Structure 1
Amino acid sequence: MSQNNWISNIAGRRRFLTFILMAIVVLVLAACATPPATPPAAEEAAAASAAVQEYMGTLPLNITSEQRIADVVDANQPALATLSSTGAHVAWVQSDGALWNREGQLCIYTFDTGTTVCVDGPETYEGYPYDLAWSPDDTMIAFSENPIQLAYESDIWVYDVAAQTFTDLTDDGVTGGYTGLEAGTYALDYFPMWTADGRINFWR
C-alpha cells in the first residue's frame, strides 16, 4: 500500500470515530437534559392520592382554619353536621345512643356569635334523620325520617330556624316502621334538595 493510501485510510477512520463520539455525546446530553417521563398510571395514582388527601383533610372535617367541626361547635360526635348555604351556621343532630339509630336534638351553631341553640324534635317524628338540607337563605332546614337503615315511614319535614318550629310537609297519616304495611297505603318521602328559588325536590 502506498503511503498516500495509508494516510487516507487513517484520516477516514479518524473521521468515522469522531462522528461516532459526537453522536454518543449528543445522546448523553439529551438524556441528561430531559427528565424521565412519568408513566400515565403513576400520574393518575398521584392525582387520585392528592384528591383523597384534600377530601379527607379539608372538606368533611374542616370548616375554617382547618378546625374540626367537633372542636368548633364543642360537641361530641356532631352527627350529620351540615354547613349552611351562606356558611354562617352549621347544623347537626346531638344525642346519645348508636350513631345509626339515635334520637336527639337538632342543634345550630352560629359562627359570628359563637352560640349554639338546640331544640327537641317534633313529637310525631320518629328515629334519626336521613339527612339535613339548608335552604339557600339559611332560614330553614329540610330533613326526613330514615327509611333506609331504620325502615321508618318517612315524610319531608322543615325546621324554621327563627321560629324554632317543625312542619311536616308530606304528612300521609302513617308513622313508624313500614315493614308489613300494605303497598300503596304509605309513601316514603326522603332526601330533600332545595332549589335556588327556595322550592324542595325530594325522592318518593
Structure 2
Amino acid sequence: MSRLVCLIVAGLFVAGCSGSGPDVDSLRVTDSTTLDPPVAGRLSPDGTRVLETNREPCVREVSGDGRWCVEDDDVAPDLLNAVWSPDGSKVAFTNDFWRLAHEPDLWVFEVESGDLRNLTDDGQDRYDFSGDNDDALIDLLPSWSSDGDTIRFVRGRAKGESVELVSVPADGGDVSTLREVDCATTKLIGLAWSDTRVAWSCGLEEADLYLGDVTGGEPERVFEAKDGQDWMLLSFSPDGQWLLADSLRHYGTAGRPEGGHARVVPAEGGGDPVPISDQAGFPTWSPEGHALAYVEFPDRLMVVDEPGGQARELRRAETSYGASDGRRLSWAQDRLLVFADQAPAVLTLDS
C-alpha cells in the first residue's frame, strides 16, 4: 500500500501507518547511566557517543573511555546546530556567526582521526558588521543527507532578503543550489530536511512555518506567525512521513518550561496538525519509523508509536525530566539521552 493511500485510510492522518521502528508497547528502560562529568549534548546514531553542546567542541564516549576535541583555536563551532553523520563517524557544523561574529563556513570533523576540513572556505574569518564585507557568504544550519554523501545547508548574506538552500559533497567539492527561499538570512531560524521535502521557519518575534519540495516550487505555509511561537525546532520523522514543529522560546521561560506547543503535520502537506499532548515537552523521533518520545511535565517520560496514538509512560523521575541540550530529547539506537533529576543521563532501552 502506498504512503498516500495509507494516509487516506487513516482518516485524520493519525492511525494505520506504522513504519518500522521500536515496539513501543513493550519498550522499557533497563539501565540508567549518569554522565560524569555532566555535559549537555546529543547522542551519536549508535548511542555510544555524545556531542557536547555546552562546553568545548568535543565528542566523548558515554562510557567515559574516550574524548576527541576540535583542536583549532580559530574555529568556534555553533554546537547547538552541529549534526552527526548517519554513520556517527563525523560531525558537521558552521562557525558561530550570530554570537561570535565568526564568518561561518561549513566544517566537517572526523571524530577518531581528529581531521578537520573546511568545505566552503571563502577566505574570510571574521564578519565586519560595519558593512565592509556585506557580500560575504554566510553558511548556516547544516544537515546530512540520509546516505551521508552530501551536506545540505543555508547560504545567504547578512543583509540579503532571501537565501539559497544548497548542498556540497561530504568529502568536498562544488556547492549546488537546490532551491531559493524568500526569507532574509537574519530571519531564517529553523530548518529541517527529508530526502524530498524541506521545512523552514521565518521570523524573529514570531515565525511562519513553510513546507515545500527540496527541488523548488511554491511552498505551503503550514503555520502563520501568532502566539509568540518561533517554530525553531523542526525535524522530519526518519521514515519521511511526518514533520515535527516545536517552539524553542517556551522552554526558556522562568521556572518550569512550558510544554504543549509541539505539533506534527503530514510531510506531504495538506493535513491537519496533530498536537502531541497539552503538557508535552522536548519531543524527539525514534531512530527509525515515526514513534515519539517526550516529557509530560514535570516528571513523566512518555512514548507513542505514531503521532496521535495512545501514549504510555516509559519512566517517572523523582523530580523532573528535561532535554540535555535544552531543545529535545536525544533518541539513538537502544539509548535515550535525557536530563533527569538535574543531571544528564543515558537510559538503555529494550523492547
Which TM-score band applies after superposition, normalised by the shorter structure? 0.5 to 0.7
User: How far did 1:119 drift?
Assistant: 2.1
Question: Shift of residue 115 of structure 1?
Answer: 1.5
Q: Which residue of the partner structure matches residue 89 of structure 1?
A: 49
TM-score with structure 1 length normalisation?
A: 0.53
Runs (5+) with no aligned partner, structure 1:
1-62, 96-104
Q: Greater helix share, 1 or 2?
A: 1
Query: What is the CA–CA distance in structure 2 between the aligned matches of 1:94 and 1:127, rounded to whole Å?
Result: 11
Corresponding residue to 2:133 among 164, 182, 199: 182
Q: Which has the larger radius of gyration?
A: 1
- Name the CA distance, whole Å, in 2 between partners of 1:178 and 1:130: 23
Q: How far apart are 1:151 and its partner, in Å?
A: 3.0
Q: CA RMSD in A?
A: 2.5
| CA distance 1:106–1:183, change in 2 (3 Å) | closer
> How far 1:168 moved relative to its partner?
0.8
Q: Is the 8 Å Cα contact of residues 142 and 151 (structure 2) preserved in structure 1?
A: yes
Measure the CA separation in 1 of the matches of 2:30 and 2:43.
11
Contact 1:130 1:190 survives alignment (8 Å):
no
Gaps of 5+ in 2: 1-28, 156-351
- Report the AA paired with residue 57 of structure 2: L
Deviations 1:4-29 (A, max 9, x none): xxxxxxxxxxxxxxxxxxxxxxxxxx
Shift of 1:145: 1.0
TM superposition shift of 1:190: 1.5
Deviations 1:59-112 (A, max 9, x none): xxxx98465xxx32x124x34x111122221111464xxxxxxxxx3322224x
- After TM superposition, give the deviation of residue 114 of structure 1 in Å: 3.6
* 2:154 is the alignment partner of 1:154: no
Change (3 A) 1:64 1:141: farther
The aligned residue for residue 236 of structure 2 is: none
> Residues 130, 173 of structure 1: CA spacing in aligned structure 2 closer, same or farther, 3 A cutoff?
farther
Choose from 135, 138, 152 the match for 2:85: 135
The question of whether the paired residues in 1 share the 8 Å contact of 2:77 and 2:93 is answered with: no
Partners of 2:108 and 2:116 within 8 A in 1: yes
Give the strand-richer structure, 1 or 2: 2
Q: Distance in 2 between matches of 1:159 and 1:168?
A: 9
Distance 1:132 1:126, change over 3 A: closer
Note if contact 1:106-1:119 (Cα within 8 Å) is conserved in structure 2. yes
- 1:75 corresponds to 2:26: no
Which whole-Å CA distance do the structure 1 matches of 2:114 and 2:105 have between them?
A: 19
1:193 aligns with 2:143: yes
- Contact 2:104–2:139 (8 Å) recurs in 1: yes
CA-CA distance at 1:173 after TM superposition: 0.7
| Residue type at the aligned position of 2:48 | A
Number of residues of Structure 1 aligned to a counterpart in Structure 2 = 125
TM-score, normalised by the number of residues in structure 2: 0.32
* 2:104 aligned counterpart, secondary structure: coil
Which structure ranks higher in relative contact order (CA pairs < 8 Å, sequence separation ≥ 6)?
A: 2
Q: Which amino acid aligns with 1:92?
A: E
Moved more, 83-92 or 118-127: 118-127
